[in-house]
Amino acid sequence: MNFNNLKYSILAFFLFVILTVPAQVAKPVHPSEPDSVYVVDTIEILPDSLELYEEQRQADFQEARDVLGESEVMKMFEALEGIPYFGEDHLEIDAKAMNVYGYDYGEIPVFEDSIYAQRIDQLASQTTIPLVYNAHVKPFIELYAVRRRSLMGRMLGLSYVYFPLFEELLDKYNMPVELKYLAVVESALNPVAGSWAGAKGLWQFMYGTGRQYGLQTNSLVDERFDPLKETEAACQFMLDLYNRYKDWFLVLAAYNSGPGTVNKAIVRAGGVMDYWAIWPYLPRETQGYVPAFIAVNYVMSYASAHNLYPIDPGLLMSGTDTVTVHDALSFDQLTETLGVSMRDVKFFNPQYTKEIIPANDTTPYILRLPTQYALQFVEKEQEIYAYKTKASAEKEKIVEQVAKVSDRTVHTVKKGETLSSIAGKYHVTVSNLKKWNSLRSNTLRVGQRLTIYSSGGPMASGGNSSAVGSSAPKYYTVKAGDTLASIAKKYHTTVSNLKKWNKLKSDKIKVKQRLRVSK
């Protein structure tokens, strides 16, 4: 080779390296972290490995997207774009003041694995949940902090609205406050979230689980959309799961896929009670569930390190107030008497699924309105109740719907009572009592709860008694080979519930023993 050609080749090579390999820019990542820990704004990759690196990034991201997509969470995440009210200056947020690292607008920090691991170790030291960084967690961090970072600002804003409520109730039940991040994975903190499978609300309760934990669901009201009531139910559900598994990651897996699925995975893993040990035997969605939870915990805790800041949630933050409704009311009455928009009434009160509030003197309901209209409601309450909407029969329709929902009474059997005496007390027939409660004989026991409809029939008559009978407690007679776990699975409940309902001190049961299997 000619010497001059060799000289120019060497010079060209060094110029190529200088121009194509980016320099590292180091900044302290967190005020409380040691100075030796740095953010890497650019990743040092040689050109011949760049294509392979990008392919791996795309594959990791697609894996995270596929898992979240299958669980409907991705759709809820992206649905945040459709929520109104953001940016209406109800929360004092100064992104410049929160930008303690001096990032430029739009800059997207990228970090080495060791930094992610160190930060998550720091978070793990502050909780009883065994947070860990691994290859399963990494693509979810990228999903939230890079690929969908434009929506993270909305979730961070919504955290100011809902996290104080979550933390208060988690503390009430002596549970790790970090479980609040589960609602982010479940619903992206979208208060009107609903999945194709029928899960509803911030915590995505299914109908049966909601009923099991006291959430009322009927033709007019769905309390799964009530943040306070659903959060209380979620705490109780997770606590029941923890009493069974004694491991918070297994609790999360069971919350997502059900205790039966987790139990099967544990058996297939040789009886090991560890999430990562049973991970290969879990459904694909549940395999990504705990990694997504860890990633959300990390990204929301280190948001400013990723140049992410909350977007003002507007009226959702502090621009609304609640009033108590004491009479049947339609959303139309509210919009026509107060001038409040139908959009606001529907968004802030999604639990009233038919746009009717079935309230009366004995069963009041809560209504949330923008503050100015809440004050007007208090001043004009009786006038609003009396107002006739454009549909002349609207009030009558509401009263009829209220009667369908509110004539249900639950009676607890006392010593000496019989079906005849109870029927006489409520002016109903013995045959109806037996039909409403699926009773095959006239035998009652003290403490038994009976459902009674004062109007003479469920849902103001109409004949669909099977739907009502399911609200009465169900009983099961133990057969050979039965266990509390198998019975709980059969009736879609938990072992702890069976023990509570039947006052059992251990898991031992006897053949022919009669067990209560529903609330």
Let me know the angle formed at the C-alpha of 392 by 389 and 398, rounded to the nearest 5 degrees. 75
Confidence of residue 196 (pLDDT cuts 50, 70, 90): confident
CATH topology of domain 407-472: Membrane-bound Lytic Murein Transglycosylase D; Chain A (3.10.350)
Confidence of residue 397 (pLDDT cuts 50, 70, 90): low
Instruction: State yes or no: pLDDT of 16 exceeds 50.
Output: no
Task: Give percent of the chain above pLDDT 90.
Answer: 37
CATH topology of domain 63-306: Lysozyme (1.10.530)
User: Would you call 175 helix, strand, or coil by DSSP?
Assistant: coil
Q: Where does 250-377 show beta strands of DSSP type E?
A: 320-325, 329-330, 356-357, 365-370
Instruction: State yes or no: pLDDT of 53 exceeds 60.
Output: no
C-beta separation of 374 from 322 below 8 A: yes
Backbone angles phi, psi at 6, to 5 degrees: -65, -40
Instruction: State yes or no: pLDDT of 431 exceeds 50.
Output: yes
The pair of structure tokens assigned to 386 is 């009396």
Instruction: State yes or no: pLDDT of 420 exceeds 60.
Output: yes
When the pLDDT of each residue in the chain is averaged and rounded to a whole number, the result is 78
Q: What integer pLDDT is reported at residue 468 of this predicted model?
A: 33
Q: What integer pLDDT is reported at residue 64 of this predicted model?
A: 55
Q: What integer pLDDT is reported at residue 402 of this predicted model?
A: 58
Give the chain's length: 519
Q: What integer pLDDT is reported at residue 74 of this predicted model?
A: 65
Q: What integer pLDDT is reported at residue 225 of this predicted model?
A: 94
Instruction: State yes or no: pLDDT of 464 exceeds 90.
Output: no
Greater model confidence, 59 or 504: 504
d(CA 398, CA 433): 27
Domains 63-306 and 476-516 alike in fold: no
**283-297 pLDDT, tens per residue?**
988 899 999 999 999
Confidence of residue 317 (pLDDT cuts 50, 70, 90): confident
Task: Give percent of the chain above pLDDT 70.
Answer: 75
Q: What integer pLDDT is reported at residue 32 of this predicted model?
A: 38
Most confident among 5-19, 272-286, 505-519 (mean pLDDT): 272-286
**102-118 pLDDT, tens per residue?**
888 888 998 999 999 99
Q: What is the DSSP letter of 144?
A: I
The average pLDDT across 8-16 equals: 42
Confidence of residue 60 (pLDDT cuts 50, 70, 90): low
**234-257 pLDDT, tens per residue?**
999 999 999 999 999 999 999 999
Q: Give the range among 110-114, 209-213, 492-496, 501-505 with minimum mean pLDDT.
A: 492-496
Greater model confidence, 149 or 16: 149
Domain boundaries, the chain: 63-306, 319-403, 407-472, 476-516
Q: Where does 17-85 show beta strands of DSSP type E?
A: 26-28, 38-40
Greater model confidence, 156 or 414: 156
Q: What is the CATH number of domain 476-516?
A: 3.10.350.10
d(CA 14, CA 9): 9
Q: Give the range among 177-181, 233-237, 325-329 with minimum mean pLDDT.
A: 325-329
d(CA 301, CA 304): 8
Q: What integer pLDDT is reported at residue 217 of this predicted model?
A: 87
Residue among 250, 193, 227, 205 at smallest CA distance from 72:
193
Tell me the β-bridge partners of 452.
Answer: 409
d(CA 501, CA 506): 13
d(CA 171, CA 93): 27
Greater model confidence, 132 or 514: 132
Instruction: State yes or no: pLDDT of 180 exceeds 80.
Output: yes
d(CA 460, CA 474): 23
Q: Give the range among 115-129, 134-148, 344-358, 458-472 with minimum mean pLDDT.
A: 458-472
Confidence of residue 265 (pLDDT cuts 50, 70, 90): very high
Confidence of residue 408 (pLDDT cuts 50, 70, 90): low
C-beta separation of 467 from 458 below 8 A: yes
pTM above 0.75, yes or no: no
Q: Give the range among 39-53, 266-280, 499-513 with minimum mean pLDDT.
A: 39-53
